[in-house]
Amino acid sequence: MKQVDIFKALSNEARLQILEWLKEPDLHFTPHEGIDMNKTGVCVSQITEKLEMTQSTASHYLSMLLQVGLIKANRIGKYTYYKRNEDAINGIAEFLKQKR
């Protein structure tokens, strides 16, 4: 993925907020029974509720973050769970360090 696409995905306050919440999901969400949010991720419905946006808007934002590799999706039954892709986020940080 091109860096410019990653920065486009990051250019929205709500998408940045999603990444921040997913950094420490236990502080921001209540897990589904039997789900370890740090390993599995956070359910799309919980993210949608916290954003106070429509499901279609939240899904679009998550899709953008997923397309550029900043988050990962994990489907379990009828639910999709999202978590941060720390390798990709660290890669962006390293890219920025090199540009100083």
CATH code: domain 3-98 is 1.10.10.10
**How buried is 43 (Cβ within 10 angstroms: 0-12 exposed, 13-18 middle, 19+ buried)?**
buried
Give the number of C-alpha atoms closer than 13 A to the C-alpha of residue 38, restricted to the C-beta side: 3
Cα gap 3→35, rounded to integer Å = 33
pLDDT 10s per residue in the chain (100 long)?
588 999 999 999 999 999 999 999 999 999 888 899 999 999 999 999 999 999 999 999 999 999 999 999 999 999 999 999 999 999 999 988 988 7
What's the confidence (pLDDT) of residue 1? 59
Give just the sign of the alpha carbon dihedral 5, 6, 7, 13.
positive
